[in-house]
Amino acid sequence: MKRKTVCITGASRGIGKAAALKFAREGFDIAICCAREEDALLATKKEAESFGISCFSSLCNAGNPEDCARFLSGVCASLGTPDILINNAGISKIGLVQDLTLEEWDGMIRTDLSSVFYMSRILIPPMVQRQSGKIINISSVWGCVGASCEAAYSACKGGVNAFTKALAKELAPSGIQVNAIAFGAIDTSMNASLSSAERAALCEEIPAGRYGTPEEAADFIFSVAASGNYLTGQIIGFDGGWQY
């Protein structure tokens, strides 16, 4: 039997890399991309292939629609239409709104929000034709409650949440499930700019008393992907009890 295929954006590090390795370990063929870190992406590919699966990898700026089209054309030619799309690519910037440049705002909107639209709209037609598929959007607690000094990031993730709910209603009649996971503080390079004192203060706010690990995040993504088809249109928190 043909192995199922999962496509993951932003897979050179952090949650994306951990998710790629989790699915590879579980026997899925994988398609992975990132915008710039080609050496890191190839390292992910090599590790994933050690589990005996096929892996298609390519540089792709998920915030660029032409890049998305080129990448997914290669994925479909190499592995067929993915059974699961995980929209994970994202960037963040901490700072006051008045200090955010127009270029930084536009870049974050493209990478964190528009990328979800670009990737989904290409894969939806073949998923509809097949009457099956899952789309999992990687969101954040800040998309639900907002964060001071991360207004742009919060706006993007709030948009991802609303897009998820609306798209799930569109695609449910076609047998396609769309959900988002609102992650809390996960110990990735996105949080590397925090000082040790800031990290300690943040951990004190989290009832679980610690950051989540990328591997825990990956396990949860896999559990959502493996869930029954009646689960759709949900924004699922994974945050150690932090924000809800």
Cite the active site residues: 153
Nearest to 33 by CA among 62, 58, 69: 58
Nearest to 124 by CA among 161, 55, 60, 72: 72
- Tell me which residue has tokens 């190499």: 78
Nearest to 159 by CA among 98, 109, 234: 109
Neighbours of 233 (CB within 10 A): 16
Q: How far apart are CA 115 and CA 70, in angstroms?
A: 14
